[in-house]
Amino acid sequence: MNLHLTNVVRKLFVTFKGDGVVHRIYKGFTMTYVYAQGTVRKIVEKTGENTRVIYEYKNTLLELQHLFQARDVEREINRVYAEIDSLLDTRKDATVDQLHQIDETLARHQKRLFELEAY
């Protein structure tokens, strides 16, 4: 293994914010370094058939933000379903003028549910 070359490649990833994989081959095992945007995101040790993750970057803040956003979407979906149920109950006894207005609102809710489900 050429340590100088390996170090040059590592510095290139860091300097140019590159993405890539570097395999450092040692006697009996291989270390794999995965770079994303110039930083090490994962280090894996491979010995024969065995693979072991040594390090893996986790953006906990971003994961928590996605979790909270997903819960907000679930709450919004439940709110829209509740409004739809209420409108359908109201529709049973509505006049012709009210039916038109209720149907327009139901159509908006249907579109909103489609958007939320896509999220």
Distances (CA, A) of 99 to 1, 29, 60, 72, 105: 78, 72, 48, 31, 10
- 26 forms beta bridges with 29
Q: How far apart are CA 47 and CA 50, in angstroms?
A: 5
pLDDT recorded at residue 80: 94
By the 10 Å C-beta count (0-12 exposed, 13-18 middle, 19+ buried), 13 is classed as buried
pTM for the full predicted model? 0.50
Report pLDDT digits (tens) over 28-81.
999 999 999 888 999 999 999 999 999 998 888 888 888 888 888 899 999 999
Tokens read off for 107: 């159509």
Q: How confident is the model at residue 1 (pLDDT cuts 50, 70, 90)?
A: low
- Tell me whether strands 20-26 and 29-36 are parallel, antiparallel or unpaired: antiparallel
Please, what sign has the CA dihedral across residues 104, 107, 113, 118? negative
Q: Higher-confidence residue: 12 or 77? A: 77
